Structure 1
Amino acid sequence: MANKNDETILLLKKKVELQREELAKLPRSLQSETSTVFTPPDVDKKSIRVMNVEQLKLLKVQLHMYEMAASDLDMDLDEFTISGFTIDKWMHDIDTQISVLTRAEKEKKLKETENTLNKLLSDDKRTELELEALAKMLM
């Protein structure tokens, strides 16, 4: 028989599983539309694969400034390229990489939460759950 704490823990574990399902919708890796090496004319090369989320956001701001300037100058945005790729393609890759990094961090936190919840379960409830899992496997 489960105690009240076990019931609470099981509810929290269900929430963890729901969050894990939401994370499954995010990309695991960057399927790039660009070379991923950003080479603007005024700075050194930058690889979006090695940047953190804050650096990617700053790069996105920089790209947006280029986009606004090109628009103000009546330039065709499809012809305005950086390192051979349009701003739209760069924005796509940056957004995807931010999602990849965010997913990895959230997965790590969920795993830690799940491990803590598993440790908090009573021995009786843990045994009950393991027996249920074994019974399902044998059916």
Structure 2
Amino acid sequence: MAAPLQIQLTPEEDRLLLELSLDPKTHKKTRLWAAMVRLAAEGWTAPRIARHFHKDRSTVYLVLRRFLEQGLPGLAYRKPPGAPRKFTPQMAAFLEERLAEDRTWTAPQLAEALAERFGVRLAPKVISRHLRAMGYVWK
């Protein structure tokens, strides 16, 4: 069994964590994580903190480890990155080349051309949205 995580705060860190945990302009997860660190510094165990906040204890351990490794910046909330974009700048250039040709293209035809060239299927509505963003309009 691993040793419990020992959190020791300087008076300045404790003051900053208290401000973070009470500031309504701070992201709610950052406020929660600051409160968890303060309770751990007061001697609360991770399972007790988890019960108090109705969280899994692995979440508490994660927050405490991040604080020990990174300090206060480790408590800042960062939005998860999400999935990478399917529509790339190369696809935009490809669409511009197609639209420069002397023919009329529909969104479904452009979607099919993109699928053949890049192997990525995009809905015609998505193609239309990107074309509008690129400055193309039609009536």
TM-score surpassing 0.5?
no
Larger Rg: 2
Higher relative contact order by CA 8 Å / sep ≥ 6: 1 or 2?
1
